[in-house]
Structures are given as C-alpha cells and as structure tokens.
Amino acid sequence: KNQVEQSPQSLIILEGKNCTLQCNYTVSPFSNLRWYKQDTGRGPVSLTIMTFSENTKSNGRYTATLDADTKQSSLHITASQLSDSASYICVVSARNSGYSTLTFGKGTMLLVSP
Amino acid sequence: NAGVTQTPKFQVLKTGQSMTLQCAQDMNHEYMSWYRQDPGMGLRLIHYSVGAGITDQGEVPNGYNVSRSTTEDFPLRLLSAAPSQTSVYFCASSYLGQGMYTEAFFGQGTRLTVV
C-alpha cells in the first residue's frame, strides 16, 4: 500500500528561525513528490514539485530536497515569518496508465511565534 | 481566472438528507477529483474523473456519487448523509500529463457537518 509519513506532527518556532520538515514515502511507481502549504480553512497550495531526477528545488524561502534512493524528502524554511504558520503536506504521485494518483501525508502543523 | 470554485463553503445536514457539493473549474482541465480531509488523516480520494462522461472510484467512495457531464463541472452527491460524512471536502483539478507531472489546483473546501 502506498504510504507517506511526515514528521514532526507539529512544530513551534520563533519568527526568523529556520526549520526542516521531513517526509518518508513508499509509493510505486514513483512519479513525483510535491509539497503543499495549507492555511487554516483554505485549500492546499503547491510549493514545489520534484521528479525522480531532481535533488532540490527552491521557491523563495522554501527549499525542498529529494533522495529517491532512500525515499525521503525534506522541506526547509528559511527566516520564518508569521505567515508561514500553516500545515505543510507532503504528497507523492504514482503514475497509473497516463494519469497520476496522489498519496497525501497527514501534514506537519507549523506555528511561527513572534 | 477563478481556478477551482466550490460551493457551498459551509453546510449542516440532518442524518438521512441528501445534497450536492458543487465544483467548477475554468482551466479546461481533464482531471478532476474529490477528497475528504479528516482530523489526523491525510486527504483521501473519494471519486475522480479523467474527462467528461468518465468517472471512477477512489479510496473512500461509499455513500457518494459523482457525474461529469461537462469538462468544467464535477458535482459530488451525498445520497443519505451520515455523521461519519462530517468532514471538509476538497475538489481538485489538473491537466492529464503523459510522462510529465501536472500541477493540481484545489478549491477552498466545503465544511460539512451531519447531525
């Protein structure tokens, strides 16, 4: 069964500090890995998408890494801001006959404190 | 460009009532899907569609029906609401990509409570 595990479950950091969120997956056949940000009461919004051949991808203060051999990914947030407070969801896509099915992690709830 | 629009945003139903959650997208995406999000769980796929007239079941389809008569619309019907269907529902759409990844766009969600 395809699975995506995220850690930690929740995290509190001070504004301006950095943090790293982790994602481990067992999804086959692997197509790509995505990180989404979900603000409270809103739908998920894509931060990055990485394919098998991509090790790292940045989007502003967000940097995602992917190790396809160990099936691990991380999302690093630099110089955190209060607006970064949200749930961060790791999503792995498996390819099935021309379209992708998505397996969602449970998310890491990040709270950035002033 | 509105993206993915869901209505209503909030709904309270009594057990046994039926209703339809609406989802519309204006990006001409072939692929549309419905998810539910429950506390402590990742989003779970209810039903999906790869084009008008084509639908299929996801991970948790029981108690829900869908249809896809147009590319733009993908309504989700609750046949006889149960308290276990209390959840936040998200509609998503994307292009179909042969050999390439495609961005999935999510609606704002519908928070449904069944009492």
- pLDDT of residue B98 exceeding 60: no
Render each residue's pLDDT in chain A as its tens digit; 114 residues: 889 999 999 999 999 999 999 999 998 888 889 999 999 999 999 999 998 888 999 999 999 999 999 999 999 999 999 999 999 999 998 876 656 678 899 999 999 999
Q: What is the pLDDT of residues B45-70, one digit of tens each?
A: 999 998 999 999 999 999 999 999 99
* Residue in chain A lying closest to B31 (CA): A99
Preceding omega of A29 cis (within 30 degrees of 0): yes
Which of chain A's residues have a Cβ under 8 Å away from the Cβ of B43?
44, 89, 102, 104
How many percent of chain B have pLDDT more than 90? 82
* pLDDT score recorded for residue B94: 87
Q: What is the pLDDT of residues B6-18, one digit of tens each?
A: 999 999 999 999 9
Cβ within 8 Å, pair A99-B107 = no
* pLDDT score recorded for residue A20: 98
Cβ within 8 Å, pair A100-B41 = no
* Residue in chain A lying closest to B44 (CA): A104
B16: left (phi over 0), alpha (psi -120 to 50) or beta: left
Rounded mean pLDDT, B22-28: 96
The DSSP output letter for A54 is: -
Q: Are B93 and B109 spatial neighbours (Cβ–Cβ below 8 Å)?
A: no
Neighbours of A10 (CB within 10 A): 10
Q: What is the pLDDT of residues A37-51, one digit of tens each?
A: 999 999 999 999 998
Entry field: residues in chain A:
114
